[in-house]
Amino acid sequence: MKLIVRNTHKYLSFLISLQLLIWTVSGIYFAFNKIELVRGEKYFVQESYTMDLSEFDLKLSNVKMLRMLKRLDETIVVASRGLDNSYLDRNGQLVEKLTGNEASLIVARKTSLVPKNVTEITTPKKGSEYRGKPLPLYKVLSKDSEENEISVYLNAYSGDIVAIRSSSWRLWDLMWGLHIMDWQERDNINNVLLKLFSILALISSVTGLLLFFKMDIKK
């Protein structure tokens, strides 16, 4: 029995050793890097403005949530119906999609970044920097005060900045994908590999403890 425990621990430890190292290194990385900085929250400029919903002439039905946003010099309402959003002006009419120049102006106003180039994104892509965000989006390639390239993604209708991506975020995203063993989409924590290696790591730990404390295991 003791030989079985020893061999189980030995070969399981060898099998999962690389992933254990990845879990340890990525865990240390997460512990020493603040997620707020990784998300680019430091680039936002504080804004203050007042809104009055009574100014809006809205006739809506089946709406789950209403949000009021400042889009350049106008206030708009985002009406959410589950996964479907409507972007309305104060008269209840659908607003027009922002232009690339307007997207750049929003980034300049709402962040401390300097916009350089604008690209419209209409197609979803697995594992992308904008995954999970409603399309269409504008990607505004910008630079910070240290000339680092920063990608800002904003909703093409509301002008809401939905993501800021930098080199530190990309490294975090890579580490996260390795940590949860989802190397393509880097989002699925319920994948089979992660569950399997977690169970194997548990077995390896238990057998290691049995051997360490020299429990009375019959040969």
Residues 6+ apart with CB under 8 A from 66: 60, 77, 78, 79, 80
Residues 6+ apart with CB under 8 A from 51: 68, 70, 75
Give the model's confidence band at 61: pLDDT under 50 very low, under 70 low, under 90 confident, else very high.
confident
Place of tokens 């994104």: 121
> pTM, whole model, 2 decimals?
0.81
| Tokens encoding 219 | 């040969």
Over residues 143-187, the pLDDT tens digits come to 999 999 999 999 999 999 999 999 999 999 999 999 999 988 888
Residue 189 makes CB contacts below 8 A (sequence gap 6+) with: 180, 182
Partner residues linked to 115 by β-bridges: 142
Gap between the Cα atoms of 61 and 81, Å rounded: 9
pLDDT of 74 > 90? The answer is: no
Reduced to 3 states, what is the DSSP secondary structure of residue 34? coil
Tell me the β-bridge partners of 165.
151
Q: Which helix or strand (DSSP H or E) is residue 109 part of?
A: helix 100-110
CA angle 129, 142, 175 (to 5 degrees): 35
